[in-house]
Chains A and B, each alone.
Chain A
Amino acid sequence: MKWPTIRFHSLPFKLSLYISLTLLGVSILGLSFIGWRWFTDMSAALNFRGHVLAQETAHKLDAVFVQAQQAAHLLANALEQHPCSREGLADRLKMTALTVNAQCPEICAVVIAYQPYGLDPNEKYNAQFAHIDKNGTYIPSTWSDSSSAVNYFILDWFVIPTTLDRPVWTIPFWAHTQQQTIVAYSIPFHKTVNGVRTVAGVVTIDIPIRALEAHMPAAQFEKDTNLAKSGTAFICNQFGQIVIHDDTRDDTNGRTLYTLCDEVDTPDPADRRSAQSISHAPYGKIRLNNTLLLKTTRASELFYAHCVNDWTVCIAIPANWLQKMLTPIAIRFGAGCILVIIFIIAIIFTITKRVNQPLITLANATRNIGRGDFTSVIPEVTSDDEIGNLSASFHHMQHALTDYITRLKSTVAAKERAEGELNVAKMIQHDILPKILPPFIECPNVEGSADLIAARGVGGDMYDVFLVNPDTLALIIGDVSGKGVPAALFMAVTETLQRSLCHADIHVDVLATQLNRMLSAQNAASMFVTYWAGFLNIRTGTLTYTNAGHNPPLIRRATGELDEISARHGPPLAILENHTYRASTLTMAPGDVLVLYTDGVTEATNANETLYGFEPLKALVKNAPDTTPATLLRAIEADVARFTDGFEQSDDITLLLLKYITEPSRETLTVAATDENLATVMAFAEKHLSTCGFSTGILNKLLVSVEEIYVNIAHYAYAPATGDATITYWKEAGQARLMFTDSGVAYNPLARTDPDITLNVTERPIGGLGILLVKKSVDFIDYRRESECNMLTIGKTIDF
Chain B
Amino acid sequence: MRLLILFIITMLTTLATINAGTQTVYRVKMLWQPQAQFAGYYVAQADKLYADAGVNVVLEHTMPDENIFDALYAGRADMIVAWLTSALMERKAGHAVVNAGQIAQRAALSIVARRADDLQKPSDINGKRVGIWPSESFHVPVDALLHYHAITNYTVLPIFTSADLFLYGGVDAISSMAYNESYCIHGAGFDRDQLIILTLNDAFPHIPEDGLYCMESRHATDAHAFDAIARATLEGWRRAFKNKPRTLQLVKAECKKANIPFNIAHHRWMLNRMEQIIAPNGLFSDGRLSRAAFDEAMRIIGDTSKAFHYERFAPSTKGDAQ
Contact = CB atoms under 8 A, between A and B. Distances in A.
Nearest to A262: B265
Interface string A597-619: 00000000000000000000000
A239 B167 contact: yes
A357 interface: no
B161 A156 contact: yes
Interface residues on A, range: 20 to 34
B136 to A, nearest CB: 15
A536 interface: no
A252 B263 CA distance: 5
Contacts of A276: 189, 191
Given A250-B256, A251-B263, A164 B188 contact: no
Interface stretch (A253-261, A448-456, A479-487, A681-689): A253-261
A256 B158 contact: no
Contact of A254 (B160, B167, B266): B266
A293 interface: no
B170 interface: yes
B260 to A, nearest CB: 9
B262 A251 contact: yes
Given A156-B161, A163-B165, A250-B256, A256 B188 contact: yes
B189 A263 contact: no
B249 to A, nearest CB: 9
Interface string B147-186: 0000000000110111011011110000000000001001
A168 interface: yes
B7 interface: no
Given A241-B188, A258-B189, A275-B189, A156 B164 contact: yes
A250 B248 CA distance: 13
Interface string B258-286: 01011111100100000000000000000
Contact of A168 (B168, B188, B264): B168
A159 B164 CA distance: 10
B160 A240 contact: no
Interface string A166-186: 001011001000000000000
A154 to B, nearest CB: 4
Given A151-B65, A171-B162, A171-B164, A241 B187 contact: yes
Contacts of A160: 164-165, 168, 170
A259 B185 CA distance: 10
B252 interface: yes
Contact of A256 (B161, B187, B256): B187
A155 interface: yes
A256 B252 contact: no
Interface string B51-80: 000000000000011000000000000000
A255 B165 CA distance: 18
Contacts of A170: 164
Contacts of A258: 186-189
A146 to B, nearest CB: 19
Given A163-B170, A164-B169, A250-B256, A259 B187 contact: yes
Contacts of B160: 154-156, 159
A253 B261 contact: yes
A240 to B, nearest CB: 5
A161 to B, nearest CB: 9
Contacts of A254: 187, 261-263, 266
Contacts of B186: 258-259
A259 B263 contact: yes
A540 to B, nearest CB: 134
B164 A263 contact: no
Interface string B229-270: 000000000000000000000001000100101111110010
B256 to A, nearest CB: 7
A255 B183 CA distance: 11
A762 B188 CA distance: 145
Contacts of B188: 239-241, 256, 258
B303 to A, nearest CB: 30
Interface in B165-218: 165, 167-170, 183, 186-189, 191
Given A154-B160, A164-B170, A259 B265 contact: yes
A359 B167 CA distance: 90
A250 to B, nearest CB: 7
A151 B265 CA distance: 31
A240 B167 CA distance: 11
Nearest to B163: A239
Nearest to B255: A253
17 contacts: A154-B160, A155-B160, A155-B161, A156-B162, A163-B157, A163-B165, A163-B170, A168-B168, A170-B164, A240-B188, A250-B256, A251-B252, A258-B186, A258-B187, A259-B266, A272-B191, A276-B191
Given A154-B158, A254-B261, 8 more contacts: A159-B158, A160-B164, A160-B170, A240-B187, A250-B256, A255-B187, A256-B189, A276-B189
Interface of A: 151, 154-156, 159-160, 163-164, 168, 170-171, 174, 239-241, 250-259, 262-263, 272, 275-276
Interface of B: 64-65, 134, 157-158, 160-162, 164-165, 167-170, 183, 186-189, 191, 252, 256, 259, 261-266, 269
Q: Kindly list the 7 A-B residue pairs having the minimum CB-CB distance in the complex, ordered from nearest.
A: A253-B261, A254-B263, A154-B160, A256-B187, A239-B188, A251-B264, A259-B187
